[in-house]
C-alpha cells in the first residue's frame, strides 16, 4: 500500500527483528477496495481468550470503525483485527455503520467467532461508502494463509504516506515466564483525497485481563502517542489498540498495579514511546526531529500545554527548518499558551547551549556554536519557566516546503 | 521601513483617500535604531484633551511597550504616540522597562506634556536592548515637521513584512456634527530575526470619554481583529489603539450606549473590520483570502472556536492553497475543536456549492463546478452544524510554500 517517496532522513538506521507473539497470526490480501492489484487488507487473528484495550481519536466526528471498536471494547475480548486501506469509511453516515457491521459479520463467519470480537480500522478516502461486500470470500481465503511471521509484512501493509515501516519489540519476564511485546504503527498526516491516519497495534502473549490491560495502555499513551504532534491536526480515525493473547503461559493478571507487572509496564511504555518517536520521525516533509522539554512549570499539565504550544507553532517549526535558533519565537509560543509564565524568569536552551536567561538574551552564548548545533537531525529545545516543578516533554518535526507540497500540490 | 516583496495578489485595487483628522498630526524620522539612513520612527501628536483606549496581545510574555501602554491607559489621556521599527524592545528584561521610560521622557520633553500621556509601540528584533538615547534630539526635531496629511505616510512607515499599506476611513455625524475616523494597520507575521507584529492605530476627532471609548473598542475588536488569524501564532507586541481628539466640535459623550453614537459605532466597527481584512489579505505568502462561516452551533462562542479550528488547520490551509475543496479536512477540523458537533448533522459548502450534507457527501454536487470555484481569490467556506443558532465568521489565508520560505529560508 506504500507510496513511492524517498525514505525520511530521520528513519532509524535498522529495522528491529521482531519475533513471533504466541497466539497472533496474520496475512494480507487484495480486496480491490479502491484499486485492483494492490494489497489493501490486513487480517490479524488472535487465539481464544485474548483480551483487548484501545484508545481512539478525541475527534467529535470519528469514523465508523472507531465507533465500532469503541462500542465493542467493553466486552473485553478479541479474535481478529481487520485493517483496510483505500477507504477510511469516515463521514459516511448510516452506510458507514452498515459497512462496519457487514465487515465484522464476514470476518466472524470466516474465523468462526462472534462479530463483537472483530476489531476494525480503515484508512483511505473519506466520504465514500465502503463496499464491504468486497470482503466476501476474500477474508475466508486470507484466513487459510495465516502465519506468525515476519512482522515486517503487517508493518508495511498499513503504510500510506509513511516512508518507512514502523516496528518495535521487547521481551520481559512475568513471574519468571518470558513474554513478548510487538507493535506496529503507521504515521500521522493526510494526503488528499486520502486521509492518512495514525494507526498502531501492539500485541503481547502475556495474560492480562481487559480492565488491567486498558489501564496499562491508557497510562502508557500519555507520554508516548499523546506527546507527539505533527501539525496539530487530529484524524477522525486515530486508533491505538493493545491485544494480550495469554498464550505465553505466564500467570493471568487482573490488576494493572500487580507488582509482577513491573518490568512489563516499563517495556510496554518503551515500545509505545519507540513507535511514537518513529511516527514523529516520519512526519510529512520532516527533516528534523524536535524534542521540546519544558521544566519549572506550575504542573505537568501546564508544562504539556506550553510544550504543545511550542510544538504546534508554525513559526517555531519553520525556524527549525531554517536551522535558526530563533528563541524569540519560543517566547512567543510560551506567551500564547495561556499558562502561568513570567517573562523575566524564562530560560531557553538549544541542546546544551543556553541562549536566553532571566527574560533576556544570555550574554554568554556563542552564535557560531548554536548555528552549528541547529544543523543536527535531532534538535532539543529546553524551556525552563522558573516557577515550579512541573515538567514534560513532547516531540514534533519541522515544517518544510515539502509538507506544503505533500498536502497542497497534489492537484497541480 | 518596508521590505521589497511583490505586492499581494489580494491587495485592494485602490488605496482609500483619507482626509485629515482634526487634532492629529504626524511626521517620520530616521533615528538609526538598527540601520542608518532608514525611516524608523513615526511620531503622532494629539491635541490636549484626547482620550485613549487600547487592546493588546493576550501573550503572557508581552513586550515592554505593551506593558508601558497598559500601565498608562487608566489615566485615559494621550498626547502622542511614538512607533519605532528595527527593535521590538521585547524580552529585554529590566533594560526594556528603562528604555520605555526614557523614550517617554524624551518625547514628553519635546512636546511639553506628561510622560504618562506618551504611548509607545515597537517592532523589530527581539531580545536586544533598545537604545532609547537615539531618540534624543530626533523627536524634538521631528516635532517641528508635524503635519495632518497625507495618511499614506504613517501607513507606510509602520510596514515591515507587509506588501501594501493599510488604511481605512469613515465620516459620520454625531448630533449633527461631522466627525472623521481614520485608521492604519500593519500585518501580522514574523520574519527573523525581526518580529513583525500586528499594530493598528485608529484616530477620530469625535469627543468621547476614555471609558466609553474603551467600551467601543473592546466591542468592535471582537468581530474584526479578534476574528482574523494568519498562522495561530500570537506576537508579544500586538497593539490596537483608538484615540479621540474631540477637535471636531461634536458634543462630548461619556456613555458607549449613548444613542447619539449609533452611526459612529457602526462606522468604527466598519473601519476595524476593513483594516482586519486587509491584514488577512496580506498574510505572509497568502494567495487566497478564506472566510469561514459557521452556523447552527450551540452558541456564538462555540461557533468561533470551531471557525478558528478550521482557520488554523495546516491541512485545511494547504488544501485551499492547492485549490482543493477538501471537505474531509473541514470535518477533521470541526472534530478536533472539542465543541459540540454531530457528524450526521454536518453540512459543508464551498461558496454556494454544498459538498456535504447530513454527515455524508452531497450526491448532488458537481466536482467540476467546485474545482472552478476554488480558483477564486476569495474562498467562502460555510459549515452548518445543525445544532442551534450560534453563528460566527473568521478570516484567514491559505498556507503556501512562500510562507515557509519567508519564515524558514532567510538563513540559507
Q: How many percent of chain B have pLDDT more than 70?
A: 95
B14 labelled ligand-binding: no
Strands A353-357 and A360-361: antiparallel
What is the pLDDT at residue B128?
84
Q: Is the pLDDT of residue A317 over 80?
A: yes
Q: Is the pLDDT of residue B2 over 80?
A: no
B55/B218 Cα distance (integer angstroms)? 7
User: Measured between beta carbons, which residues in chain A are less than 8 angstroms from residue B95?
Assistant: 360
Contacts of B38 (CB under 8 A, 6+ apart): B1, B30, B86
What is the least distance, in Å, from the CA of A203 to any CA of chain B? 28
Give the closest of B234, B318, B358 to A407, CB-based: B318
The set of cell numbers assigned to B186 is 500593519
- A153-169 pLDDT, tens digit per residue, is 999 999 887 899 999 99
Cis upstream peptide for B150 (omega within 30°): yes
Question: For the stretch A83-117, what's the b/e string if a residue is b when 16 or more beta carbons lie within 10 angstroms of its beta carbon?
Answer: bbbbbbbbbbbebbbebbebbbebbbebbebebbb
User: Measured between beta carbons, which residues in chain B are less than 8 angstroms from residue A340?
Assistant: 60
CB A214 within 8 A of CB A170: no
B315/A179 Cα distance (integer angstroms)? 41
What is the pLDDT at residue A409?
67
Confidence band, pLDDT 50/70/90 cuts, at residue B50: very high
CB B117 within 8 A of CB B66: no
Tell me the pLDDT of chain A averaged across its residues. Answer: 91
What is the pLDDT at residue B196?
52
Confidence band, pLDDT 50/70/90 cuts, at residue B409: low
**Which one, of A279, A188, A156, A174, lies nearest residue A216 by Cα?**
A174
Confidence band, pLDDT 50/70/90 cuts, at residue A305: very high
Q: Is the pLDDT of residue B5 over 80?
A: no
Confidence band, pLDDT 50/70/90 cuts, at residue A195: very low
Instruction: List the strands of the sheet with B390-397, edge to edge.
Output: B360-361, B353-357, B347-350, B378-384, B289-297, B390-397
- B283-334 pLDDT, tens digit per residue, is 888 899 999 999 999 999 999 999 999 998 888 999 999 999 999 889 989 9
Question: Mean pLDDT throughout A285-294?
Answer: 94
Q: Is the pLDDT of residue B193 over 70?
A: no
- A136-151 pLDDT, tens digit per residue, is 999 999 999 999 989 9
Q: Is the pLDDT of residue B4 over 60?
A: no
B247/B208 Cα distance (integer angstroms)? 11
- What 3-state class would DSSP assign to A313? coil
Phi, psi of A390 (to 5 degrees): -70, 130
Element holding A177 (H helix, E strand): strand A177-186
What is the least distance, in Å, from the CA of B379 to any CA of chain A? 16
**Which one, of B93, B83, B193, B214, lies nearest residue B139 by Cα?**
B83
Tell me the pLDDT of chain B averaged across its residues. Answer: 91
What is the pLDDT at residue B189?
57
Contacts of A340 (CB under 8 A, 6+ apart): A297, A298, A302, A385, A387, B60
CB A44 within 8 A of CB A58: no
- Between B389 and A232, whose confidence is greater? B389
DSSP string over B49-105: T-EEEEEE---SS--HHHHHHHHHGGG-B-SEEEEEEEE---S-HHHHHHHHHHHHH
What is the pLDDT at residue B94?
86
- What 3-state class would DSSP assign to B391? strand
B15 labelled ligand-binding: no
What is the pLDDT at residue A284?
80
Which residue in A77, A92, A197, A396 is the catalytic one?
A197
CB B196 within 8 A of CB B283: no
Q: Is the pLDDT of residue A25 over 70?
A: yes
User: Measured between beta carbons, which residues in chain A are less than 8 angstroms from residue B400?
Assistant: 404, 408
Q: Which residue of A has its CA nearest to B328?
A: A126
**Which residues are paired to A380 by β-bridges?**
A291
Cis upstream peptide for A123 (omega within 30°): no
Question: Mean pLDDT throughout B126-152?
Answer: 93
Confidence band, pLDDT 50/70/90 cuts, at residue B191: very low
Confidence band, pLDDT 50/70/90 cuts, at residue A91: confident
Compute chain A's Rg from CA coordinates: 22
User: Measured between beta carbons, which residues in chain A are less than 8 angstroms from residue B125?
Assistant: 328
CB B15 within 8 A of CB B167: yes
Compute chain B's Rg from CA coordinates: 22
Contacts of B120 (CB under 8 A, 6+ apart): B65, B68, B69, B81, B82, B83, B100, B103, B104
Confidence band, pLDDT 50/70/90 cuts, at residue B34: confident
Element holding B394 (H helix, E strand): strand B390-397
| Cβ contact B331–A91 (<8 Å) | yes
Q: How many percent of chain A have pLDDT more than 70?
A: 96
Residue ranges of the domains in chain B?
24-281, 289-408
B160 labelled ligand-binding: yes
A154/B106 Cα distance (integer angstroms)? 71
Superfamily of domain B289-408: ArgJ beta chain, C-terminal domain (3.10.20.340)
A27/B154 Cα distance (integer angstroms)? 69
What is the pLDDT at residue A37?
84
Quick one: residue B37, left, alpha or beta (phi over 0 = left, psi -120 to 50 = alpha)?
A: left
- B67-123 pLDDT, tens digit per residue, is 999 999 999 999 999 999 889 898 888 899 999 999 999 999 999 999 999 999 998
Q: How many alpha carbons fall within 13 Å on the CB side of residue A31? A: 27
The set of cell numbers assigned to B146 is 508635524
Tell me which of A220-224, B150-154, B186-190, B261-265 is least confident: B186-190
B197 noted as active-site residue = yes
Q: What is the CATH number of domain B24-281?
A: 3.60.70.12
What is the pLDDT at residue A189?
57
- A346-374 pLDDT, tens digit per residue, is 999 999 999 999 888 898 889 899 999 99
- Within 10 Å of residue B321's Cβ, how many Cβ atoms? 27
| Strands of B212-369, DSSP E | 239-244, 289-297, 347-350, 353-357, 360-361
The set of cell numbers assigned to B177 is 456634527
Confidence band, pLDDT 50/70/90 cuts, at residue B1: very low
What is the pLDDT at residue B215?
98
What is the pLDDT at residue A196?
52
| Cβ contact B234–A62 (<8 Å) | no
- What 3-state class would DSSP assign to B191? strand
Confidence band, pLDDT 50/70/90 cuts, at residue A216: very high
Amino acid at each position: 500500500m506504500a507510496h513511492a517517496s524517498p525514505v525520511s532522513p530521520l528513519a532509524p538506521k535498522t529495522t528491529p527483528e521482531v519475533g513471533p507473539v504466541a497466539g497472533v497470526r496474520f496475512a494480507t490480501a487484495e480486496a480491490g477496495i479502491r484499486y485492483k492489484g494492490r494489497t489493501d487488507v490486513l487480517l490479524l487473528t488472535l487465539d481464544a481468550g485474548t483480551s483487548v484495550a484501545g484508545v481512539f481519536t478525541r475527534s467529535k466526528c470519528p469514523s465508523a470503525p472507531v465507533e465500532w471498536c469503541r462500542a465493542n471494547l467493553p466486552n473485553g475480548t478479541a479474535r481478529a483485527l481487520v485493517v483496510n486501506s483505500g477507504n477510511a469509511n469516515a463521514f459516511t453516515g448510516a452506510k458507514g455503520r452498515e459497512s462496519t457491521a457487514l465487515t465484522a459479520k464476514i470476518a466472524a463467519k470466516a474465523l468462526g467467532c462472534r462479530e463483537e470480537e472483530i476489531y476494525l480500522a480503515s484508512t483511505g478516502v473519506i466520504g465514500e461508502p465502503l463496499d464491504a461486500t468486497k470482503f466476501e470470500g476474500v477474508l475466508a481465503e486470507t484466513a487459510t494463509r495465516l502465519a506468525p511471521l515476519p512482522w515486517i509484512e503487517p508493518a508495511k501493509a498499513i503504510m500510506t504516506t509513511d516512508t518507512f515501516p514502523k516496528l518495535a519489540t521487547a521481551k520481559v519476564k512475568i513471574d519468571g515466564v518470558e513474554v513478548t511485546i510487538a507493535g506496529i504503527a503507521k504515521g500521522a498526516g493526510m494526503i488528499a483525497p486520502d486521509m492518512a491516519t495514525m494507526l498502531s497495534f501492539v500485541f503481547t502473549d502475556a495474560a492480562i485481563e481487559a480492565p488491567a490491560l486498558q489501564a496499562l495502555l491508557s497510562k502508557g499513551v500519555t507520554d508516548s502517542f499523546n506527546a507527539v504532534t505533527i501539525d496539530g491536526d487530529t484524524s477522525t480515525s486515530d486508533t491505538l489498540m493493545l491485544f494480550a493473547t495469554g498464550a505465553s503461559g505466564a500467570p493471568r493478571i487482573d490488576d494493572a498495579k500487580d507488582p509482577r507487572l513491573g518490568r512489563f509496564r516499563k517495556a510496554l511504555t518503551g515500545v509505545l514511546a519507540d513507535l511514537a518517536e518513529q511516527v514523529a520521525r516520519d512526519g510529512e516533509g520532516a527533516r528534523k526531529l524536535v524534542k521540546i522539554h519544558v521544566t519549572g512549570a506550575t504542573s505537568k499539565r501546564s508544562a504539556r500545554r506550553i510544550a504543545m504550544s511550542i510544538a504546534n507553532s508554525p513559526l517555531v517549526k519553520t525556524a527549525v527548518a531554517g536551522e535558526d535558533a530563533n528563541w524569540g519565537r519560543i517566547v512567543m509560543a510560551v506567551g500564547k499558551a495561556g499558562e502561568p509564565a513570567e517573562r523575566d524568569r524564562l530560560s531557553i536552551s538549544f541542546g546544551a547551549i543556553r541562549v536566553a536567561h532571566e527574560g533576556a538574551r544570555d550574554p554568554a552564548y556563542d552564535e557560531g556554536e548554536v548555528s552549528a548545533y541547529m544543523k543536527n537531525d535531532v534538535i532539543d529545545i529546553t524551556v525552563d519557566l522558573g516557577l515550579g516543578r512541573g515538567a514534560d516533554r513532547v516531540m514534533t518535526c519541522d515544517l518544510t516546503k515539502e509538507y506544503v507540497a505533500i498536502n497542497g500540490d497534489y492537484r497541480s
